[in-house]
A and B are shown apart, each in its own frame.
Chain A
Amino acid sequence: MKRQPNGAYPRESPVAEHGVIDVRGRKLNLRRAGQGAPLLFLHGAQGLADHEPGLDELARHFEVIAPEHPGFGASEVCDHVDDVADLGLFYLDVLDHLKLDAIHVVGQCIGGWVALEMAIHASHRFKTLTLVNSGGLRVKDQPRGDMFVCSEDDLVKMLFTGDAGATWIKRWRATPALEELYDRNRAAAAKYTWSPRLCNPKLDQWLHRVNAPTHIIWGAHNRVIPPAYADALKALIPGATASILADCAHMAHVEKPQAFAEETTQFIRRTAP
Chain B
Amino acid sequence: MKVFTFHLMPYADLDMNFMDKHRAAWVVLPNTYYDPKKGHELYNRYLDELELAAELGFDGISVNEHHQNAYGLMPSPVVTAAALARRTKNAKIAILGNAFGLREHPLNVAEEHSMIDNITGGRLITGMVRGIGAEYFSTGNNPAFSHARFQEAHDLVVQAWTRPGPFSFEGKFYHFEYVNMWPRPFQQPHPPIWTPSTGSTETIEWSAHPSRKYTYLQAYSPTQSVARFLNYYRQCAQTMYGYTASSDQIGWSTPVYISDTDEKARAEAKPHIEILFNKLLRLPFEMLFPPGYLSPKSLANMRSHKRSVSGQEHTIDTLIEQGIIVCGSPETVRKQFINTHRLLGFQNLLCLMQFGTLPRDLTERNIRLFASEVLPTLQGLTDKEYVGMEMRAAE
Contact = CB atoms under 8 A, between A and B. Distances in A.
Interface string A55-73: 0000000000000000000
A50 to B, nearest CB: 19
A87 to B, nearest CB: 14
Contacts, number: 49
A189 interface: yes
The winner among A82, A189, A190, A195 for most chain B CB atoms within 10 A is A190
Interface stretch (A36-44, A145-153, A244-252): A145-153
A148 B296 contact: no
Given A149-B28, A191-B145, A183 B291 contact: yes
Contacts of B143: 190, 194
Contacts of A195: 140-142
B142 A151 contact: no
B56 interface: no
A234 interface: no
A191 B284 contact: no
B395 interface: no
> What's the dominant secondary structure at chain A's contact region?
helix
A82 B148 CA distance: 12
Contacts of B286: 148-152
Interface residues of B, number: 19
A184 interface: yes
Interface string A140-169: 000000001111100000000000000000
Contact of A190 (B140, B287, B290, B296): B290
A180 B144 contact: no
B242 interface: no
B292 interface: yes
A82 to B, nearest CB: 8
B291 A190 contact: yes
A187 interface: yes
A183 B293 CA distance: 11
Contact of B296 (A82, A151, A184, A194): A184
Interface residues of A, number: 17
Nearest to A82: B145
Interface string B135-171: 0110011111100000000000000000000000000
Nearest to B142: A194
Contact of A148 (B141, B145, B291, B299): B291
Given A149-B27, A149-B28, A180-B296, A186 B142 contact: no
B282 to A, nearest CB: 13
Contacts of A191: 142, 144-145, 292
B175 to A, nearest CB: 15
A85 to B, nearest CB: 15
B232 to A, nearest CB: 22
B137 A149 contact: yes
A184 B295 CA distance: 9
Interface string B316-329: 00000000000000
Interface string B271-314: 00000000000001011001110001001000000000000000
B196 to A, nearest CB: 24
Interface of A: 82, 148-152, 180, 183-184, 186-191, 194-195
Interface of B: 23, 27-28, 136-137, 140-145, 284, 286-287, 290-292, 296, 299
5 A-B pairs with least C-beta separation: A191-B144, A186-B291, A187-B292, A190-B291, A194-B142
Given A149-B28, A194-B143, A195-B141, 14 more contacts: A148-B137, A148-B290, A149-B137, A152-B286, A183-B299, A184-B296, A186-B291, A186-B292, A187-B144, A190-B144, A194-B136, A194-B141, A194-B142, A194-B292
